[in-house]
Amino acid sequence: MHKDDILKELEAIVPKDIIKIDEPLKRYTYTETGGQADYYLSPTTHQQVQAIVHFAYSNDIPVTYLGNGSNIIIREGGIRGIVISLLSLDYIEVSDDAIISGSGAAIIDVSRTARDYSFNWFRVCMWHSGFYWWCCIYECGRLWRRSKGLY
């Protein structure tokens, strides 16, 4: 698929303002290194992520996900295909027995939320690519203190 055709298809899927062409990725990494992404997208909803991924996989376009850039070094040659930044999906929701956060939420913020709401057990569900990508169950209360001899 030609680069202009890909751009037209992406503009039909998501708003133009979240699409950047030949975007320097050094702006998004702590090491401030790295070449350009062919297409850099910052979706704001799970539905947008899902539509982008569906389009990319249907057309054999590589997809790379980028978080906060703290644990990655990008080669100077850049990344071919679509780079999806998940930072806009940074919500944290609290219910009676769970904390549900977007994949853009910082782990420290999720942990502090759990502390602030006094969760003894809490479940963090990260939403990724329109699906629950992974779920972790953390034991934070009584059993942790007991195992450390602090109970």
Within this chain, do residues 10 and 37 fall inside the same structural domain, yes or no?
yes
Within this chain, do residues 35 and 13 fall inside the same structural domain, yes or no?
yes
Within this chain, do residues 8 and 49 fall inside the same structural domain, yes or no?
yes
- The residue segments making up the domain with residue 49 are 3-85
CATH of the domain at 31: 3.30.43.10
Sign of CA pseudo-dihedral 92, 106, 84, 17: positive
> Within 13 Å and on the Cβ side, how many CA atoms surround 77?
2
Within this chain, do residues 60 and 115 fall inside the same structural domain, yes or no?
no
Within this chain, do residues 7 and 78 fall inside the same structural domain, yes or no?
yes
Within this chain, do residues 106 and 59 fall inside the same structural domain, yes or no?
no
Query: Of 85, 102, 122, which residue is a domain's last?
Result: 85
Q: Give the pLDDT confidence score for residue 133 in this predicted structure.
A: 36
Task: Determine how many CB atoms are found less than 10 A away from the CB of residue 27.
Answer: 11
Q: What is the chain's mean pLDDT, rounded? A: 78
Residue 82 has pLDDT above 90, yes or no: yes
By CB neighbour count within 10 A (0-12 exposed, 13-18 middle, 19+ buried), where does 24 fall? middle
Residue 136 has pLDDT above 50, yes or no: no
Residue 135 has pLDDT above 50, yes or no: no
Q: Which of 53-67, 87-101, 114-128 has the lowest mean pLDDT?
A: 114-128
Structure confidence by residue, pLDDT tens digits, 7-20: 999 999 999 999 99
- Name which residue leads in pLDDT, 7 or 103: 7
Within this chain, do residues 142 and 70 fall inside the same structural domain, yes or no?
no
Q: Give the pLDDT confidence score for residue 120 in this predicted structure.
A: 59
Within this chain, do residues 71 and 14 fall inside the same structural domain, yes or no?
yes
Within this chain, do residues 16 and 58 fall inside the same structural domain, yes or no?
yes
Q: Give the pLDDT confidence score for residue 143 in this predicted structure.
A: 39
Structure confidence by residue, pLDDT tens digits, 56-78: 999 999 999 988 877 788 888 99
From 50, 46, 41, 120, select the one nearest 85 (Cα to Cα): 41
Share of the chain above pLDDT 90, in %: 37
When pLDDT is cut at 50, 70 and 90, the band that residue 37 belongs to is: very high
- Name which residue leads in pLDDT, 34 or 118: 34
Within this chain, do residues 75 and 98 fall inside the same structural domain, yes or no?
no
Within this chain, do residues 75 and 97 fall inside the same structural domain, yes or no?
no
Total of domains in the chain:
2
Query: Of 85, 100, 131, which residue is a domain's last?
Result: 85
